[in-house]
A = this chain, B = another copy of it.
Amino acid sequence: MERQRHQGMAKNTSMRWRLPLVCLLWEGAMIVLFGVFVRFGAEADAHWEEEKRDMNLTSDMENDFYFRYPSFQDVHVMIFVGFGFLMTFLKRYGFGAVGFNFLLAAFGIQWALLMQGWFHSFKDGKILIGVENLINADFCVGSVCIAFGAILGKTSPIQLLVMTLFQVTLFSVNEYILLNLLHVKDAGGSMTIHTFGAYFGLTVTRVLYRPNLEQSKDKQGSVYHSDLFAMIGTLYLWMYWPSFNSAISDHGDAQHRSAINTYCSLAACVLTTMAFSSMLQKKGKLDMVHIQNATLAGGVAVGTSAEMMLTPYGSLIVGSISGIVSTVGYVYFTPFLESRLHIQDTCGIHNLHAMPGLIGGIVGAITAAAATEDVYGKEGFIKAFDFTGAYQTRTPSIQGGFQAAGIVVSLLMAFAGGAIVGGILKLPIWGDAAAENCFEDGVYWEVPEDEESDVYHMHNPDKPASP
């Protein structure tokens, strides 16, 4: 079936046996591992009535479900609709954007429940899960969705599944180092999700560098309606980000505060993004790429500090800066990364997640270092940073140092992990498409024949070229 075509070699992109094999084997493994390890936590178990009595709870409302389920659903929408539709901006890769995001996230949340469960919810040989585990699994997969943005359109679904397997594993290790060993706060994941996910993805795409990608340049743009589909993703990410950053914060004021800070930061970010998008274009016209992406940087950049006493005006400042940095990134850094560093970043995750993630880590370190008992109250101070037990004697400035260390660890994990996983994905067995067929749904999907279809010059390896 392989045939010489053009100057390149037409690759065997058929998924017929490889994809089913991977999906079914892995799902089988999930079933076995869940059977051995995963059980309901106390609040989801039918023994809850006894638990309630033991804990002197007078109301079913005290079940964590009611504190977190609405936020969980918002996060769930961000992962599946938010990321999925944000990536539909490409004129001819909408099925792949939404569909592969769906596939990798559905696998990833299962594997994340296990990996994170072993690290954080393991008791007497069992992983006990509840709504907070579901949120954390979605969070973990969020970092994979980010990395997917860098390689969008250039990889096969199997490569994405392989990447998910490894990235979820590495994410969980990195998260364990940060949260448990360094005792770092990162409820909205500026470091664990965004910095790690983005630099991991950028490293992978660097390793997978395709020198002839300009052969599919005509398919790397958007069309009018694909830009509107992408705005569905943008808006759901933007609107629900307050839920994202507050989803796993402490009950009460911390969740409340996280939502407010994130709301403020995102609002400010929209204005500076619009300002710079217009300013940096010769005729002052706005660019949908910026509106779709840079407006979200404000959510990333308060991921660590949102649950702290960042204050609303602090959030406005952070949001304003991250909108500027992100938009400038799209105009100047992305072309530079591609031409000089050979980093082909389809969605510009460097601008939306990597740089704002670093900002978020730094802002978190500063906010932690600047914390005082006066601002937080005596009890609030201890509760906010969990300065109990072994960490009773930690001071804000030491905490700030550990927060900064968390950024460095996340970067190192991302570079090392990305290099290794990129190397694995480079093996010629995964069925990725040739450069001239990148960004083209027809390779892996049955695509309906529109009247428009002949406009998109797909180089179909199954049909002989017209002479």
Which residues of A does B touch, CB under 8 Å?
Answer: 14-20, 23-24, 26-27, 30-31, 34-35, 38-40, 43-50, 52, 59-67, 69-71, 73-74, 76-77, 80-81, 84-85, 88, 91-92, 94-95, 98-99, 102-103, 106-107, 109-110, 113, 129-131, 134, 157, 221-225, 227-229, 231-232, 235-236, 238-240, 242-243, 251-257, 259-260, 263-264, 266-272, 274-276, 278-279, 281-288, 291, 295, 309, 311-313, 316-317, 320, 375-377, 379-381, 383-384, 444-448, 450-453, 455, 462
Contact check, A60 vs B69: say whether CB atoms are below 8 A apart. Answer: no
With A and B bound together, what is the CA distance between A253 and B224 in angstroms?
A: 46
Indicate whether A20 sits within 8 Å of B278 (C-beta atoms), given known contacts A376-B46, A377-B50.
yes
A221 touches which one: B224, B444, B448, B452 (CB < 8 A)? B448
Q: How far is the CB of A141 from chain B (nearest CB, A)?
A: 10
> Given the complex, which residues of B lie within 8 Å of A88, measured CB to CB?
228
> Given the complex, which residues of B lie within 8 Å of A281, measured CB to CB?
16, 446
A23 touches which one: B18, B223, B272 (CB < 8 A)? B272
Indicate whether A377 sits within 8 Å of B275 (C-beta atoms), given known contacts A256-B131, A285-B446.
no
Q: Give the number of copies in the complex.
A: 3
The 8 A-B pairs with the shortest beta carbon distances in the complex, nearest first, are A16-B284, A46-B380, A48-B253, A106-B270, A34-B313, A23-B275, A60-B252, A60-B251
Q: From A46, which residue of chain B is reached at the shortest CB distance? A: B380
What does DSSP make chain A's interface, helix, strand, loop or mixed? helix
5 CB-based A-B contacts, threshold 8 Å = A98-B235, A107-B267, A110-B267, A129-B312, A131-B260
- Of A113, A239, A251, the most chain B CB neighbours within 10 A belong to A239
With A and B bound together, what is the CA distance between A231 and B101 in angstroms?
A: 12
A130 touches which one: B34, B260, B270 (CB < 8 A)? B260
